[in-house]
Structure 1
Amino acid sequence: MRTCRAPRLRLICFPHAGGSAGFFRSWAALVPDDVELLAVRYPGREDRFAESPARHMADLAEPIAQASMKLDDTPLALFGHSMGATVAFEVTARLADAPTAVGPAALFVSGRPGPGKTRSRHLADATDDRLVEDLLAMGGTSAEVLANPELRELFLPVIRADYRLLDAYRSPVPPPALAVPVVAYYGAEDGHVDEDGVNAWSAVTRSGFAARSFPGGHFYLEQHAAALVTDLFTHLDTNTSTPGSAMPAPKTPRRP
């Protein structure tokens, strides 16, 4: 996505169900010059199209964590949207337990309720029309793609596979208390995520929690990418020098 010779931080981004690394391409112009931007390519899409999508969360999170452990010369921050929030959380938990020189600096989760608050919508086996209707309502997927029979034939199996993975996923009980600060974001008009669900992420950290809402629905970050990235670095700029240091925990999500 965006490399630099001697980064002070690497920001790894995790896309949503059916999403690809290219979703974060615009962020390359938004992050500071000394930050390296990476985005995860899930199997079954982009240059991994020939691979079968992951069936279980461990199949997805474990290889990403192993690859991330090799980047132990620079602090890492992880950002995940929707399904990507859960994948980023699972990867962060693995990294936090690993004997690496530099632990995760922060975990940013977006558009996803915290552990114990997610509800399956059982869309993996829905009809094509029902699935397309839901995707159009949520946004984030080009209407042109969904209207094109050939592109839809390629795309729908991938998102069905991601939905099956999420249906099968069970968050750890009790959730691990990570020594990693966590910040949660969501769209104020997102019908799938509310304040209670967002605040459930506070249970996964013993190192500080904050939350913020933005105007918009599930894909609020498309309209507010610049403001969102700016907010990420208000937290990172005070935490990357001492990974794991605490952040204040507001009582309710703040609004822009």
Structure 2
Amino acid sequence: MTDIEKLQQELSDQSPRAILKAALARYDEIAISFSGAEDVALIELAHKLTDRLRVFSLDTGRLHPETYRFFERVREHYNIDIEFQFPDAGAIEALVTEKGMFSFYQDGHGECCGIRKVEPLRRKLSTLDAWITGQRRDQSPGTRNEVPVVQLDEAFGGRHGPLVKFNPLANWSSKDVWDYIRMTEAPYNTLHERGFVSIGCEPCTRPVLPGQHEREGRWWWEEATRKECGLHAGNLIASQA
């Protein structure tokens, strides 16, 4: 049994706070990936555990205005720096020049997400030993129902080789997240008040109707069971095993 497998066993039924505490104690070069409600819950939990909290976010250049305002509220509320990562301008310029602004509606979201999200994430993670995500098992039954609370990230490399990935909210439901946000009065994206549940880039995100799963609002023109952009590519591999 590897060290990470042993840690997974030890933490599998622990609270998000306990998982975060173990992660922050174990690694110095570790950061929270921040974009949505789950990540704010993590920041709310973690900022009480450490005075060296690191948070990063991917600015794809195509986010909603409300998302940018949300980022700023989080920065001010917790008095933290957010380490923004941006896509390569040349790669974006080449894609848009060749295929236009909305090629993903015909070609699928993989190419655009690869440039705007995956490559900047890869650059960031190469400077870390571990990262913390807000993934929950109930977010996407097709790809996330086996998400462990800690794992080796097979899709990305870290500072010195293998990268460790913590998912402290894996066992929480959406209701658990929102109960915590309301209880702590943590900031949230105002798009949630308009029916948006899972929020990504503006052209690829829409509100969901009552009874729809939250991931149905993402890349709605594509196969419903593969709602991943590449940030958590290991989920797709696991779902096909």
TM-score by length of 1: 0.34
- Scaled by the length of structure 2, the TM-score of the pair is 0.35
Higher helix share: 2
